[in-house]
Amino acid sequence: MPEINIEIGGRSFEVACQEGEEHYLRSAAKMLDDEAAVLAAQIGRIPESRMLLMAGLMLADKTAGFQDKLREAEDRAAELQAELNQLRAAPTAEAERIEVEVEVPVMPEGLAETMAELAAQSEALAEAVEARVASEG
């Protein structure tokens, strides 16, 4: 198990970690050191245990804030996914709705008889014209 030296608040610590985890430990130590630096700038020199406690609490507070934001983002993503699923399903539902709502024009009462009469009169007129042209010719 590798041991690495980290520095937090101007103090060195030797810490063991799992093989391959050194980078993560250094990154976490840097975050803690950054918080300790803020404390040192505000308060000055404080006992090591108190400095580590306060820096840890500050990081925990930030982490809690990030968790809240993450939950909000996950909720929003779930809402957007539901909306997307609804929109993907909408064309099918819309097509079914349109099929149901298709209106078939209805001819007014008596229109068929009137058109049949007009057709008969047109045919009679055409026959009369043909007969006249044939008799004059």
- The pLDDT tens digits for 108-119 are 888 888 888 888
Within 1-135, strands assigned E span: 3-8, 11-16
pLDDT band for 25, please (50, 70, 90 cuts).
very high
Burial of 44 (0-12, 13-18, 19+ CB in 10 A): exposed
pLDDT band at 70 (very low <50, low <70, confident <90, very high): very high
Cα 94 to Cα 66: distance, rounded to the nearest angstrom: 41
- Inform me whether the pLDDT recorded for 38 exceeds 70: yes
Which segment of 57-71, 72-86, 104-118 scores lowest on mean pLDDT?
104-118
Mean pLDDT of 33-40: 89
Question: Which of 60, 13, 52 lies closest to 36 in space, CA to CA?
Answer: 52
- The pLDDT, as a whole number, for residue 100 is 56
Quote the tokens at residue 106: 């209805």
Phi, psi of 55 (to 5 degrees): -65, -40
- pTM for the structure as a whole: 0.52
